[in-house]
Structure 1
Amino acid sequence: MTEMAKKAAKARRARLLALLTTCAALSLAGAPARAQTGGQAVGVFPVAIPAQPLDSALAAFALQTGVQAYVAPEEAAGRASAGAQGDLTPEAALTALLSGTGLTFAFSGPNAATISAAPVQAAPAPILLDTIYVGGAGSTWAPVAGIVAHRTGTGSKTDAEVIDVPASVSVITADELKARGVNDLDGALNYTAGVSTNLYGGDERYDFVAIRGFNQTTSGIYRDGLPVRTYNLTGGRVEPYGVERVEVLKGSTSTLYGANNPGGLVNMITKRPVDYKFGEVYATGGEDHLEVGADFGGPLDAEGVFTYRLTAKKQDSTSPNGVSSDDRLYLAPALTWKPTDRTALTIMADYNDRGGSNRYGIPRGSGIDPWTFLGEPDFETNDTTEWGVGFAFEHDFSNGLVFRSHGRHTELDLLSENVYAAGNRSPDVGRLAWRVDGDLSRDSIDAHVQYDLGFGRVKSRTLIGADYTTAETFEEIEQGTAGGLGDLANPVYCGRACVTLRPYYKLATEEETWGVYAQEELTLDDRWILTLGARYDEVEATATQIYGFFSLPVPIEEQAVTLRGGLTYKVDEDLSIYGTYSESFTPVLPSNQFAMLMTESEPMMGEMYELGVKWRPPGVNGLFSAAVYDLTQTNVPRYKQFSGPPYFGIEQDGEVRSRGVELEGKAELTDRTNLTLAYSYTDAEVTKSASGAYDGTRPMFIPEHTASLWLDHTIPGAGARGDVTLGLGARYVGSRFANENNTFKLDPYVVFDAMAKYQITENTALTLNVENLFDKEYVSHVETWSEPDTEFYGTPQTFRLSLRHTW
């Protein structure tokens, strides 16, 4: 890095430190954090809810009993609950919680209750006002009891009902993640409409995700609303056990979140402290797999001013090829300080050490076992060590004005070593070797104010904010060769001694992005919701490639204004229709792919039109949605050879268009039966390419049709026998192309998953999760850029048996 670049980086860090210091100072004003855990509304429950504000008491009630409470925000505001203690039925617990509040309740389903003002004697029954789903009212980071989440903080950066947001939003709750035995982000998103996973088969390097036909792996992964971008080859993976929920916002998101591809984003919400005592420990075993974990926390003092949470996991696992590892150590302590009911500061730290692996396939047509390891066991690793510390601050000025800010500092080290098939030879003769040593440092912060105002028939919610991210990476890359394996069916490995490496190049990248945004939500007669948004972004980045004594710095500086407009019409409280227009902005960042060929670039821009409907069926805790969209991205770059200097470069006249239909539903059909379903039709097309070579083709990896269904049912216990829960899921992925010119088409496939859970005692359960129940052997991807072609297979049949104890 040049001396000038070091000074610039130091100045950026100083500015970020000043912002963090300002937010920390604001925290001295002193707001409660609230969370919950799951349960089922059957019989008598151990209830332990101390006296506290009513909305947080109802959130704890939902977690401890599984019954969701609907209450108008006007009714909950300013009311306090005396709490509830003891072994109680849901009815008795609600009665105690509402005692003295002037409110009453009525059950609208087996696990849902509506709260309203108690009727005055001789007065007509009260009219229900706007209802909200109390799964942590005002805290959209909070856990949800069950699989249905009715609120989101991702769709508009405010605490909003999903049904009110003019966009497609999917939420995967912690209870759903636990039920399906999810162990990676792919698994979390497997049953989500519009999302493509398993792009490269069993690949342990990154979280590969495509949304609505666009690859979002490098730009579309977020944590607590802050970007978690992968720069060139240096990036990590999320630990699902540290996640409270996963929210997917589909379509162009730049007006709120800045630079991103137009397909959408995945926002992972970190587990945070709760204001009641809770905990769990578990152990999971399977073939070549062992993991243990714990998650516990609660108040540190009698007044609940300080609360804490500690999440930990240790995993020792071997990949299906029998050589590569998936070892993990995850530690995440968190502390919340809430000196008043209006102010809260949460500090969240984490350490994520992963001993991972690379991706490996077999030569197409070789006939060998798909999981034969053709690398080199002594030269096989993709290890990342990542640690970070972040904060979330909120202060409610109690006059409709709320200030929020959150930030995170991250450090990541990557070491990747692998041996793989040569470009023009079978691995029985010779192989290539590759080594990457990378470091990443990233700082991000977001701060905004929200102002709610009501006048007559109109309600206004104004959001104004700014965010800033700076990141630096340095990669040292070596390339070489390795010996052959002989008989591929019975490979003979030669160890590190047969691996010869030479320096290839070094890459130093710096990126600084900042943006300011504004959003206005106007609600008329509680039926019409107009959402308008605008944002200005600036991106400055430099990639410096170093070959020996020769270095080439390639800087870019790009700006963009993006707009968003949406209109929601609520037919009634449980049915809404919406339409939206939004824009996206994606800078063409220099990297190893483009730096040496970089000519003057322009950002890729996107436009999206979407129509949709959302419905909450009466008497059922459920949410169903349907959407149609038309999405176009322009200025797509591609390599091109020019007739004059610089002879080689990129041309940005490409255009990609994606149109589709998405159907999604989640419902607790009864207090014992859960349903998740999804279907997507994606018509993605390269409508324009350099020289027209790829006009009319379909982007790689993207299936035209996907569908999924998950159903689980609990059989009540009898006598000494505890409850038994059985679940079955199916995932269909349609045909897709493995190359850009669409000459190689992959077959569709269907994979089944299953679970069986036995409730040993009230707090102890034994669960069996099976991925790929019938051991379906399918090709997830074929790499066709070299000979011989390499096939990559999807995850084979996997059994995991877990014993979990909660309190």
Structure 2
Amino acid sequence: MRALILAGTSLAALTAARAQEATPRAGASVQLDEISVESRGAGGVTGPVAGGASIGSPTGVEDPRGPVAGYVATRSATATKTNTRLVETPQSITVVGRKQIETQNAQTLTQATQYVAGAFSGSFGFDTRNTFIYLRGFNVSDYGIYRDGLQTLNYGFGYFNVNTFGLERIEILRGPAAVLFGAGSPGGIVNQVSKRPTTEPFGYVEVGGGSFGQKYAAYDFGGPADKEGHWFYRVTGYGRNGGTQVDGAPDDSYYIAPSVTYRPDGATSLTVLTSFQHDNTAVTANFLPYIGTVRPQALGLRIPRSLNVGDAKLNTYQRDQAFLGYEFEHVFNETWAFRQNLRYSFGESFQNSDIGQLGYAFGDATQTQLARYQFRDHARVNIFQVDNQAEARFSDGFFRHDVLMGLDYKDYRLTDNQASLFPASNLNIVAPVYAGADGIPSPYLINSNTFTQLGLYVQDQIKITDRLTLLLGGRQDFADNRVVDKLNNGLGNTGRSDNGTTYRTALIYNFDNGLAPYVSYSTSFQPLIGTGRLSDTFKPETGTQIEGGVKFEPPGQGYFLTLAGFDIHRKNTLTPDPVNTLFQVQLGEVRSTGFEAQLVANVFEGLDVAASYTIYGLTNERGGADILGKVPVNVPENFANAFFDYTIPVGALRGFGFGGGVRYFGRSFADTANLYRVPDYVLFDAQVHYNWDRWRLAVTATNIGDRRYVSSCQAFNSCFYGDARRVLASLSYKW
């Protein structure tokens, strides 16, 4: 009942005036009532799939939830929850559009964010189960991954993973975002924007395959569903099966996402977004010892990258997930409008595998016997979320205001059953023998977690002058975390209630030549789910950030440059429990101070570029004597990358294209005392493609030199190999 009441209190944002209705010819593109002034929200229907403005946006103006023309996005609705130009947004944000995703044939969120400033993707190496991303040195994979502005909360082993073929764009907002979203680490958030119905009919099919026996097929089609131009639809689907770089580990995935938009006039829109996904894979992020991966073991060998550390007969990970939600918006007049985003998410997963993480067997002088334990988990997740927004655009006689007021609610429920068998049989890394399960794992955790959060927020974007904008925002959160210990008949039941206040203030000045210096100060508040090893609940994480930078988007030049410096303090951070790494503890405070640069450019016709550089100092400022002043594990201290793609626009070779990229990752540490280093590494990517008529043939290759490298280590006995060379060929046709 509480959720229904909250769902009914929606107020949100668009500003519009009506235009004439037009009845289209059968088969023609649809023209609805147009919004005559710039919308601060985002319509549910996008323009032509190849790009263009959406219904609700002025002609030629980018829809913040629609296609990106080339690599250079100009608007976003993530940083402010309003339709704001990126060059007027006083916070660092990068938008990866559909074209860049397709050019790189990025099949995972990890792959799609590898050329983004501040983002270290794939921190746990090659992992088909989940996406692991660090922003500005902090893990955002748990509380910082969003889809269409609503959280896909990943806790414990109940996590979601979205197929990138169903995405129109990916927006990476760096720095605290709690003032609007109420959750996420101070490093930032990643918002995945789904494909939506289009105003023009289109169709697209693609088939492909390549390394490790992978084969896939995909389709995407949609358009108007009626002659009157009030109903629109889109259906996106994807299927993949085959192997991986780990022997005996499959990577099968099937995805379908139907969506429909009803737009009775130019002031009202309802878009229903749904998707279902089934994954069948294994544990591929092997927990391996430092000696034998980063450094050779006693015999001078390194553990094969293809080794299935689990058991080819016992290494299972399966997941079913579904999303059902809608986005509703209505314009009252030239000042007021409302918007409501609501979604129900469901996920169920099962994992059963032998895991390394224990190093070599005791007394094994040759370091060939890898000690293991068996781990099994069954998790079921249910999330209900609703975000209600009211937006008013007006002038008070002195300044222009864009005021956003919101009320959001989240109800998260997780049933988690974890079991282990310790020890399992050893595995010979030179001549592995797989015999199946050693026995039946014993449960050590059977919890029912309930987490609710209610937030009220307000934001005002104040135009002090035509060039100077002041942004003020504040939020109050009320959170409740309850854990029912079913293993011990409720003896370990626990819970806590917390509330927190966050705010953001920022200034940005826009010169006529496209230069925009800015400064901001923001805070974060993240309630934490679950308990530690002693059934103790966690205190909320908090954080503060000061950021200053400059954006440069010279009119008509086709490129966008962002430079940013930042200083973040994060308190009550979670790290693996040194007594039992299956649990976590709160050890203190971490500081991240650094600089980042991002360039995206459509340099001239046919040439697209994305490049970035990041460097920061990451240190533990509070905690035990063993970690004080040390650099946290898992994260490189600096990284840089550059990617380009060129398609010949004229002449006999018109339609032929090629490109590539280089990615550099600096050193990181494998232990909290910083005694063991993971060396830096460089990777190269390449692609070639040919477009003719409606056809496209492409071949992409990542880590083209097939360099064997350790992406990072979580601990001395928990190191992770990165992606092996991956070559994919694809053939597509559109109409």
- Do 1:481 and 1:500's aligned partners in 2 also have CA atoms closer than 8 Å? no
Aligned to 1:540: 480
Sequence identity of aligned pairs in percent?
28
Give the gaps of 5 or more residues in structure 2. Answer: 20-26, 362-367
Aligned to 2:376: 435
Query: What SS does the aligned partner of 1:688 have?
Result: coil
Tell me, in whole angstroms, the C-alpha distance in 1 between the residues paired with 2:549 and 2:578. 44
Tell me, in whole angstroms, the C-alpha distance in 1 between the residues paired with 2:248 and 2:589. 42
Tell me, in whole angstroms, the C-alpha distance in 2 between the residues paired with 1:541 and 1:154. 27
> How far apart are residue 396 of structure 1 and its match?
1.1
What is the aligned counterpart of 1:732 among 657, 664, 669?
A: 664
Tell me, in whole angstroms, the C-alpha distance in 2 between the residues paired with 1:31 and 1:332. 31
Aligned to 2:677: 745
| Structure 1 residues 379 and 577: alpha-carbon distance in aligned structure 2, compared to 1, 3 A threshold | same
Tell me, in whole angstroms, the C-alpha distance in 2 between the residues paired with 1:526 and 1:272. 33
Matched, 1:172 2:96: yes
Aligned to 1:123: none
Query: What SS does the aligned partner of 1:410 have?
Result: strand
- Show CA shifts across 1:691-724 (max 9, x none): 43311111112211110101111124545x5511
Pairs within 5 Å for 1:301-340: 301-340=226-265
- Do 1:30 and 1:344's aligned partners in 2 also have CA atoms closer than 8 Å? no
Aligned to 1:275: 199
- Do 1:597 and 1:650's aligned partners in 2 also have CA atoms closer than 8 Å? no
> How far apart are residue 550 of structure 1 and its match?
5.9
Aligned to 2:453: 513
| Structure 1 residues 530 and 550: alpha-carbon distance in aligned structure 2, compared to 1, 3 A threshold | closer
Tell me, in whole angstroms, the C-alpha distance in 2 between the residues paired with 1:439 and 1:677. 39
Aligned to 1:476: 417
Matched, 1:411 2:339: no
What is the aligned counterpart of 1:620 among 557, 570, 582?
A: 557
Matched, 1:803 2:706: no
What is the aligned counterpart of 1:381 among 280, 304, 316?
A: 316
| Structure 1 residues 706 and 299: alpha-carbon distance in aligned structure 2, compared to 1, 3 A threshold | same
What is the aligned counterpart of 1:607 among 518, 522, 544?
A: 544
> How far apart are residue 499 of structure 1 and its match?
3.8
Matched, 1:393 2:325: no
AA at the equivalent of 1:168: S
Tell me, in whole angstroms, the C-alpha distance in 2 between the residues paired with 1:453 and 1:578. 24
Query: What SS does the aligned partner of 1:551 have?
Result: coil
- Show CA shifts across 1:425-467 (max 9, x none): 4484763111101111110110110000135562111000011
- Do 1:273 and 1:307's aligned partners in 2 also have CA atoms closer than 8 Å? yes
Pairs within 5 Å for 1:91-490: 134-136=61-63, 140-287=64-211, 288-358=213-283, 359-363=285-289, 364=292, 365=297, 366-421=301-356, 423=358, 425-426=360-361, 428=369, 431-455=372-396, 458-481=399-422, 484=425, 487-490=428-431
Query: What SS does the aligned partner of 1:596 have?
Result: coil
- Do 1:700 and 1:736's aligned partners in 2 also have CA atoms closer than 8 Å? yes
Pairs within 5 Å for 1:49-60: 49-52=29-32
Tell me, in whole angstroms, the C-alpha distance in 2 between the residues paired with 1:273 and 1:177. 19
Aligned to 1:16: 3
> How far apart are residue 200 of structure 1 and its match?
1.1
Aligned to 2:536: 598
- Do 2:75 and 2:84's aligned partners in 1 also have CA atoms closer than 8 Å? yes
- Do 1:622 and 1:669's aligned partners in 2 also have CA atoms closer than 8 Å? yes
| Structure 1 residues 350 and 727: alpha-carbon distance in aligned structure 2, compared to 1, 3 A threshold | same
Query: What SS does the aligned partner of 1:344 have?
Result: strand
Matched, 1:673 2:604: no
> How far apart are residue 332 of structure 1 and its match?
0.4
Scaled by the length of structure 1, what TM-score is found?
A: 0.82
Give the gaps of 5 or more residues in structure 1. Answer: 1-13, 33-46, 82-132, 643-648
Tell me, in whole angstroms, the C-alpha distance in 1 between the residues paired with 2:36 and 2:701. 36
| Structure 1 residues 495 and 477: alpha-carbon distance in aligned structure 2, compared to 1, 3 A threshold | same
Tell me, in whole angstroms, the C-alpha distance in 1 between the residues paired with 2:412 and 2:614. 35
Tell me, in whole angstroms, the C-alpha distance in 1 between the residues paired with 2:651 and 2:467. 48
AA at the equivalent of 2:263: K
RCO higher in structure (CA 8 A, sep ≥6) = 2
Tell me, in whole angstroms, the C-alpha distance in 1 between the residues paired with 2:371 and 2:247. 22
Query: What SS does the aligned partner of 2:313 have?
Result: helix
> How far apart are residue 501 of structure 1 and its match?
2.2
Matched, 1:558 2:498: yes
Segment of structure 1 superposing worse, 360-369 or 562-571: 360-369
- Do 1:558 and 1:603's aligned partners in 2 also have CA atoms closer than 8 Å? yes
Indicate the structure with greater helix content: 1
> How far apart are residue 679 of structure 1 and its match?
0.4
| Structure 1 residues 748 and 604: alpha-carbon distance in aligned structure 2, compared to 1, 3 A threshold | same
Tell me, in whole angstroms, the C-alpha distance in 2 between the residues paired with 1:157 and 1:61. 18
Query: What SS does the aligned partner of 2:168 have?
Result: strand
Tell me, in whole angstroms, the C-alpha distance in 2 between the residues paired with 1:570 and 1:424. 56
AA at the equivalent of 1:750: V
> How far apart are residue 374 of structure 1 and its match?
2.5
Tell me, in whole angstroms, the C-alpha distance in 2 between the residues paired with 1:30 and 1:571. 30
Tell me, in whole angstroms, the C-alpha distance in 2 between the residues paired with 1:534 and 1:158. 15
AA at the equivalent of 2:484: T
| Structure 1 residues 325 and 176: alpha-carbon distance in aligned structure 2, compared to 1, 3 A threshold | same
Tell me, in whole angstroms, the C-alpha distance in 2 between the residues paired with 1:404 and 1:355. 37
Who wins on radius of gyration, i.e. which is larger? 1
Tell me, in whole angstroms, the C-alpha distance in 1 between the residues paired with 2:730 and 2:456. 46
AA at the equivalent of 1:709: A
Tell me, in whole angstroms, the C-alpha distance in 2 between the residues paired with 1:31 and 1:179. 38
- Do 1:485 and 1:493's aligned partners in 2 also have CA atoms closer than 8 Å? no
| Structure 1 residues 56 and 144: alpha-carbon distance in aligned structure 2, compared to 1, 3 A threshold | farther
Query: What SS does the aligned partner of 1:145 have?
Result: coil
AA at the equivalent of 1:370: R
Scaled by the length of structure 2, what TM-score is found?
A: 0.89
- Show CA shifts across 1:654-696 (max 9, x none): 221111111001010001111111001111111111x433111
How many residues in Structure 1 have an aligned counterpart in Structure 2? 701
| Structure 1 residues 501 and 292: alpha-carbon distance in aligned structure 2, compared to 1, 3 A threshold | same
Matched, 1:491 2:432: yes
AA at the equivalent of 2:348: D
Query: What SS does the aligned partner of 1:175 have?
Result: helix
